[in-house]
Each structure stands twice: as structure tokens, then as C-alpha cells.
Amino acid sequence: MGYSVGAREGFHGMSEPAGRKVLLQARGIAKRYKRRRVLTGVDLVVHAGEIAAIVGGNGAGKSTLLKICAGLISPDKGRVTVSGSLGYCPQNAGVMGFLTPGEHFTLFGAGRGLSRKESDHRGRKLAGELDWSPARGVLAKDLSGGTRQKLNVVLSALGAPDLLLLDEPYQGFDHGSYVDFWRSVRAWREAGRAVVVVTHMLNQLDQVDQVLDLTPGKDRGIR
């Protein structure tokens, strides 16, 4: 998606001690759905060149926090500041069944100001990094679930956003694709981007720079 805002008042885009630019700053986030309190006073600060994981059991509020960070829903309290461009990969693939992957690349690339050729080039390159070579003429509705999810990930990364928010992005990936996915995430970090991943795969947490645990009663930042 093409949500992009610059630094705002009270936020200067640099922070100690790393000296790297803060790309996402969420402070004091609270959210309730009717009488159900989902998030209370959650903080998350992510710098350029960092991977952050959001963990917690089912219903802990991970997707809610990510949607708030993406600007899709508003918090009841707190403030989110994003510096630079943002890509968001929703938990349920937001792809259109009657378009081919190539048509998705064109459509989403246009939203990023890319030409058809450049969109196709970038889409196929990102797909290749996830061990997927999109066949021409196949509709998204006829892709396997895991491949449709790869398309979802590729679309969120198509515009090379500074900050990438991924909500359980590897659902249905086979093992090799899952390994490829984490390799891509590390490459994005090396390129100075920031990545926030909602995950249940706690065995991957040694790959990330910080972990936000939304489990009620848990200490929030566990690294």
C-alpha cells in the first residue's frame, strides 16, 4: 500500500544510541473493540536497518497493532509516526483472483509510480528471491495458497519501501521458501530498511533485532 508520511513535530527522525534514522515510532498505543481491551500503552520504535518481531498468542493484538502502524485503523490513545515510505502485507492475501501476478505487478507498481516494465522486473526479481517464477497467463485465483501468499509479500515490497510491515507473511510457504523469506528479510535489513514481522515462529527470533511480546502480563520488550 502507498501510505507514506514524513517526520512530524516532536520527531526528528534520528535517535540515540544507534544514530540511525527512526522509521517507525509508536508510543502509548491503546485500542479497544467495544468492551474488549486489546492494546494498552504499547510502544514500538524501529530504526533503519532493524528487524522487529511482534509475538503473542492468538488474539493478543498483533494484527491490530500492525494495522495501526500502517495507518489502516486509528488507536484510541497514542501516536504513530512513520518516516519514509511504507509497505504493508496483510495477514489475508489481498490479491485479486481474476488478475495474473504480472497484472498485479503493473497495478501495484503504478501506485508506486513505476513503469509497467520496471514493475514487472521488480516483481519477478522479488518472486525469484522467494523461489517462485510466476507463469504468464495464470490467474491469482488458480495459484496455490502458499504462492498466492508469495504474491502478497512481493506486492508489499514492490516499491522498495523504507519500512515493511508483514503480518504472518509466510503462511503456506514450503520449508525452502520459508528459508528464502528470512534471507530476503535479512537482505532488506542490510540495505538499511526496517522490517516488522508478526510471527508465531519463535524459533526465528534469533534472526531479529528486537521482539515485542503482546502476551498479557508479559514484559513487552524481550530484547
Ligand X SMILES: Nc1ncnc2c1ncn2[C@@H]1O[C@H](COP(=O)(O)OP(=O)(O)OP(=O)(O)O)[C@@H](O)[C@H]1O
- Each residue 55-74 as x (binds ligand X by CB under 6 A) or -, in order, gives -x-xxxxxxx----------
8-state DSSP, 105: H
Candidates 26, 29, 38, 95; binder of ligand X (CB under 6 A) is 38
CB of residue 167 vs ligand X: minimum separation in angstroms?
A: 7
CB of residue 26 vs ligand X: minimum separation in angstroms?
A: 14
Spatial distance between the Cα atoms of 37 and 128, rounded to a whole number of angstroms: 41
- The yes or no reply on residue 199 touching ligand X (CB under 6 A) is no
Spatial distance between the Cα atoms of 147 and 154, rounded to a whole number of angstroms: 10
Helix 145-157 to helix 175-190 angle (10° resolution) is 10
Contact 163, 186 (CB under 8 A): no
CB of residue 144 vs ligand X: minimum separation in angstroms?
A: 21
Closer CB to ligand X, residue 180 or residue 213?
A: 213
CB of residue 176 vs ligand X: minimum separation in angstroms?
A: 25
Helix (H, G, I), strand (E, B), or coil: what is residue 82? strand
Contact range with ligand X by CB under 6 A, out of 32-40, 109-117, 149-157, 183-191: 32-40
Closer CB to ligand X, residue 56 or residue 109?
A: 56
Provide the strand spans (E) within the chain.
4-5, 22-33, 36-47, 51-55, 77-82, 84-89, 163-167, 194-198, 210-213
Which residues lie near ligand X (CB under 6 A)?
A: 33, 36, 38, 56, 58-64
